[in-house]
Amino acid sequence: MLVGLDPRVGQLPEPLRPRDANDLVAVAAAYREFCRGVIDVVAPLVAVVKPQSAFFEELGPPGVAVLVEVIRYARERGLLVILDAKRGDIGSTAEAYAAGMIGPNSPWGGDALTVNPYLGDDSLDPFVAAAKQHGGGAFVLVKTSNPGGRTFQDLVSGGQPIYRHVAGLVESLAAGSVGECGYGAVGAVVGATYPAQLAELRAAMPHTWFLVPGYGSQGGAGADVAAAFDQRGLGAVINSSRAIIFAHARKDYAGRFAASEWQRAVEAATREMIAELREHTTARHLA
């Protein structure tokens, strides 16, 4: 599993909220403290974190600087980092994104990057090349968890929905970079909110790692993501963001933790998710 780092000033634990939410430097500093605090809790429990670039970029230069610090801190704590930036462009622009963001020695230092495929196959080439070269990864949007994703992804062309065409391309790229684990350097973003399509795509993409959003606050549960895993309990990383990092505000946790104990709430929510995945998926084989 992985924990998404999606800081939002209005949802931070009370002890960390800046006095002035319009002071971008102060908000960025609060994000730094919050994300480091989350990382300290989850580092012994999960393998991956996924900072959402938008919430840091929203603050301008102070936020971007903190994002880089958060990525480096997560790596220092032994975590893999998927930078959720959904980049996608053509030619030298895509090459610049890939060089800047993918690989532990890149300026941003992400192990993997989320990528938008809708500019075509040549737009993915620089990201795939960087992932192979630097031992990193690229997670391509295939079937996203938001309701509006169906607007384009479910359109039928040539007898198949668009997401199946994207899936075919991603699987071919993954199959061309398979490692000892049986999976390639190119992965797919497939939402937990569409369990039937998740199972369909797992069968169609046997060499592709799945990054599965939509668990937790978006309604996905352990049983919904079971099809993402292979029989060894491999092949998928399940993401939970708000349900873990803002667990102190969850109704089902009301009264259990004081505001100053927000990290205990993060730990409790993380362990709860681990237990559910072990119960409902083949990932229990890894326990």
Question: Catalytic one among 50, 86, 132, 143?
Answer: 86
| Size (the chain), residues | 287
183: left (phi over 0), alpha (psi -120 to 50) or beta: beta
Task: Identify the residue whose tokens are 């903190």.
Answer: 66
Task: Identify the residue whose tokens are 């100053």.
Answer: 260
Query: Which two three-digit tokens encode residue 143?
Result: 């079937």
Query: Which two three-digit tokens encode residue 125?
Result: 């080439």
The 3-class secondary structure across 209-247, one letter per residue, is: EEEECCECCCCECHHHHHHHCCCCCCCEEEEECHHHHCH
CA distance 206 to 6: 30
CA 262, distance to chain mean position in Å, is: 22
Q: Name the 3-class secondary structure at 26.
A: helix
Q: Which residues does residue 250 pair with via DSSP β-bridges, in sequence order?
A: none
Cβ–Cβ contacts within 10 Å for residue 26, how many?
Answer: 17
Question: Does residue 251 have an active-site annotation?
Answer: no
Tell me the catalytic residues. Answer: 86
